[in-house]
Amino acid sequence: MTKVAFQGEKGAYSEEAIHQFFGPEVETVTCLNLEGIFEAVESGLADYGALPVENSTAGSINKAYDLLLDHDLRVWGEIIFRVRHALLAPAGTTTDTIQRVRSHPQALAQSERYLSNRGWAPETAYDTAGSARDLAANPEPGVAVIASRLAGQLYGLEELDYGIEDTMYNYTRFFVLSFQDPPRAQRNKTSLVFCARHQPGALYECMGEFAKRGINLSKIESRPRLNRPWQYIFYLDFDGHCQDPVCEAALMGLLRRSSFVKLLGSYPAATTPMPGRQLADEDNTSSWEVIL
């Protein structure tokens, strides 16, 4: 059975994202931190790792990108997961009796309007799934939690409401990590890291290798180079596969114009599951099928 590592407790949103990509029968491996995802795959404890790299509202996860630079795993796939929050409580709890709602600060912030409209006091916890596990083990009168639907199923809590987040457009993007390269798909994306030379026009010339060949850049972001103060590296995503002739030519041009290039991987591009466009498939695995 396929094993996939993720950071967090059982029932975390990362585990829901893994089910979306691999199916409900996949075996998951919990890790204490993001470094543990890489260690699990590199040691053979897991076949793949699911690494969160950015959120549509909170931005990039800098630690994840630093780890991609430090390790040699390949980006094997991409998951775009729509985060949907569930209101969970022990059996017998009703919304009329709730006074406090506990969760990770980010989940509370993303449901702030929902909680405020009902007069419920937010309480911070270290983790969404962990708050669900702890409440199930030690029920408290008047207390509910915000966590994933999967967490409610795993820990035996009742789902009192679902989709309580204030914005529908809350997505987390994951890289699926592996030692292997994936098969080529109809739509591919490539991710890499590079460092431009420290001279006028250097970044402009690097970007020009893609622009003059009509290659669409879907992301570019700078990060400090940790071992060289005041120098910066750039994380870049573009549409296409590194073995496509036009992309290969652009990469060769980038190699000539930059001081450092690391290819993170070429992989099948994911489709963003837009709210209201899913088929009648909103089941317990939170899998999505998008009408194209």
Q: So what's the pLDDT on residue 78? A: 97
Looking at residue 129, its pLDDT comes to: 96
Calculate mean pLDDT across residues 266-282: 71
Residue 289, amino acid: E
- Name every residue whose Cβ is closer than 8 Å to that of residue 69 and which is 6 or more positions away in sequence: 193, 233, 262
Contact 15, 6 (CB under 8 A): yes
What confidence category does residue 17 fall into, taking pLDDT thresholds of 50, 70 and 90?
very high
Which band of pLDDT confidence, cut at 50, 70 and 90, is reported for residue 273? confident
Hey, is 14 helix, strand or coil? Answer: helix
Residue with tokens 């396929």: 2
Instruction: Give residue 282's pLDDT band: very low, low, confident or very high (50, 70, 90).
Output: very low
φ/ψ of 32, rounded to 5, equals: -70, -30
Mean pLDDT, range 145-161, rounded to an integer? 97
pLDDT on residue 290: 29
The residues, any chain, with a CB within 8 Å of residue 86's CB and separated by 6 or more, are: 146, 147, 148, 149, 151, 152, 159, 161, 162, 164
User: What is the pLDDT averaged over residues 263-283?
Assistant: 73
Mean pLDDT of 122-144: 96
Full-model pTM: 0.88
Q: Which residues are catalytic?
A: 172, 174
Tens of pLDDT along 32-58? Answer: 999 999 999 999 999 999 999 999 888
- Kindly report the number of other CB atoms within 10 A of residue 178's CB atom: 20
Residues constituting the chain = 292
Q: What is the mean pLDDT of residues 183-207?
A: 95
- Considering only residues 290 and 8, tell me which one the structure prediction assigns the higher pLDDT: 8
Domains of the chain: 3-83+170-178 (3.40.190.10), 86-162 (3.40.190.10), 188-268 (3.30.70.260)
Rounded distance, CA 274 to CA 276, Å?
A: 6
pLDDT level of residue 276 (50, 70, 90 thresholds):
low
Band of pLDDT at residue 285, cut at 50, 70 and 90:
very low
Distance CA 16, CA 155 (A): 15
Q: Is the pLDDT of residue 230 over 90?
A: no
Per-residue model confidence (pLDDT) at position 139? 96
With left for phi above 0 and alpha for psi between -120 and 50, is residue 124 left, alpha or beta?
Answer: beta
> pLDDT band at 128, cuts 50/70/90?
very high
Q: Compute the average pLDDT of residues 181-194.
A: 96
Alpha-carbon dihedral angle through residues 253, 254, 260, 266, given to the nearest 10 degrees? -110
Residue 289 confidence (pLDDT):
30
pLDDT in tens, 55-94: 988 889 999 999 999 999 999 999 999 999 999 999 999 9
